[in-house]
Amino acid sequence: MLIKAPSDIRPSEITPESVYRQRRQLIKAMVGGGLLMAAGPALALERYELAEGQRRYPGPDWLQQKLRAARAGEPLEGEPLAPYRLITGHNNFYEFGLDKQDPKARAQGFVTDPWRVEIGGEVANAGSYHLEDLLKPHALEERIYRLRCVEGWSMVIPWIGFPLADLIKRVEPTGNARFVEFTTLHDPEQMPGQRGFFSTLQWPYVEGLRMDEAMHPLTLLAVGVYGDALPPQNGAPLRLVVPWKYGFKSIKSIVSIRFTEQMPKATWNQTAPHEYGFYANVNPAVDHPRWSQATERRLPSSLFSPNIIDTLPFNGYAEQVAHLYSGMDLRKWY
C-alpha cells in the first residue's frame, strides 16, 4: 500500500469458471423451486468442490465440527465468487512479506492451534481465552461479502464466522468502552516480515472500530472461508471482516481484543495519516492522495479483461451502514 503500487495479477492466475459457479446456479434453481426449503437450511460446506490439486485447510477437529454445521450464506446477485486459489493466493499480510504471493508461500508453517485470545480493557469478563472456548457458544454462518482493498482491487469472498456483536455482548464491556482495539500476533520467529531489515511497519499490526461499528450485524469474526478453515495466509485462526471498509481494517490472526475509551492507534492510520484514515469507509468520492478510488479491479481480472467496475459508497453496504455516520463529514473522517 504505502510501499508498492498495486501489483497486477499474472495471466496464469486467471482460473476458468469454477465448479462452484455451476453449483451455485444449481442451488439457485433449487431455491427457486422450493427444493431447499424442504431439505432445511443448506450447509456452507456442501456448496464447494475445489478444482483438482487444490488443497483444503481443514483446521483442528473442534473447528471442523463447527464449520460443518455452518449455514450457507446468501450469494451476491450477479457477483460471482473469486476462485479459491485467488482468495488464498493473492493476499495482503505484511507479516509474511510485501508481495501478494508471499503470504501463501511463507505462512504454511504458521502455528494457529492452540491459540489464545486476550480480552481486556473496559470489560467485565477480561481474561486469556483458548480460541476453542471463546468460540464454543457461537454457531457459525457463511457470509458472502465484497472485500475492497484500498489499493483498488476487490473480490467476492465466502467467509465463515459469527457476528463480533455476539462476542461483545458475552464479554460485557463497561460503560466506558467507546472503541474496540484488535492486535495481530507479534512473533518475528514465525513472521519474516516482522524481522529486522525487512521490517516495514510498526509491529504488531493494530486496528480498531468504534463500538457501534463493532456491534453492527455485518461485522464478522471469521474462522473459515470457502467452506473450510481459514488458511494461514488469510489470517488464521481468527480475523476480522468489516465489509464496508477498506480491507486493511480487516485485521488478521488476532491475539487481543481490548475495549478502550480512546480511539485505538491503528497501524496504517499511524503510519500515513494523510493517506489512511481511522474510519477507512469505502468511498468513491474521496481519492487516495496517490490514486483514484472511483473504480476498482474486480478479481479475477486480466490485461484483456480488466473487469473495472465502479466503486460503491460503503462498498455497496450503504443501506445498512450509512446511518452510523450521519452528520459526519466523510471527507474529513476518511
Ligand X SMILES: Nc1nc2c(c(=O)[nH]1)N[C@H]1C(S)=C(S)[C@@H](COP(=O)(O)O)O[C@H]1N2
Residues binding ligand X (CB under 6 A): 1, 91-95, 147, 149, 184, 205, 234-235, 247-248, 250-253
Say whether residue 317 binds Mo ion (CB under 5 A). no
Nearer to Mo ion, 218 or 242 (CB): 242
Give the ranges where 69-175 is alpha helix by DSSP (H): 84-87, 102-106, 131-135, 164-171
> Of the candidates 23, 15, 14, which has an alpha carbon nearest to the alpha carbon of residue 49?
23
Segment 256-315, which members bind Mo ion (CB under 5 A)? none
Of ligand X, Mo ion, none, which one does residue 269 interact with (CB within 5 to 8 Å by kind)? none
Tell me the C-alpha distance between 4 and 16, whole Å.
28
Say whether residue 247 binds Mo ion (CB under 5 A). yes
Least distance from C-beta 169 to ligand X, angstroms? 25
Nearer to ligand X, 144 or 251 (CB): 251
Beta bridge partners of 146: 156
Q: How many CB atoms lie within 10 A of CB 150?
A: 21
Segment 74-103, which members bind Mo ion (CB under 5 A)? 92
What nine digits make up the cell of 92? 495482503
Nearer to Mo ion, 149 or 236 (CB): 149
Nearer to Mo ion, 7 or 128 (CB): 7
58-66, 194-202, 239-247, 284-292 -> range binding Mo ion (CB under 5 A): 239-247
Position of minimal CB gap to ligand X: 247
Tell me the C-alpha distance between 7 and 85, whole Å.
17
Of ligand X, Mo ion, none, which one does residue 219 interact with (CB within 5 to 8 Å by kind)? none
Pairing outcome for strands 295-298 and 153-163: parallel
Residue 296 gets which letter from DSSP?
A: E
Least distance from C-beta 2 to ligand X, angstroms? 10
Of 248, 259, 279, 317, the one binding Mo ion by CB under 5 A: 248
Handedness of CA 299, 302, 303, 309 (dihedral sign): negative
Which residue shows C-alpha cell 516482522?
194
Of ligand X, Mo ion, none, which one does residue 72 interact with (CB within 5 to 8 Å by kind)? none
Of 9, 81, 140, 149, the one binding Mo ion by CB under 5 A: 149
Handedness of CA 193, 196, 201, 203 (dihedral sign): positive
Give the ranges where 143-205 is alpha helix by DSSP (H): 164-171
Least distance from C-beta 143 to ligand X, angstroms? 14
Pairing outcome for strands 254-260 and 228-229: unpaired
Q: In the complex, which residues of this chain contact Mo ion (CB under 5 A)?
A: 92, 149, 247-248
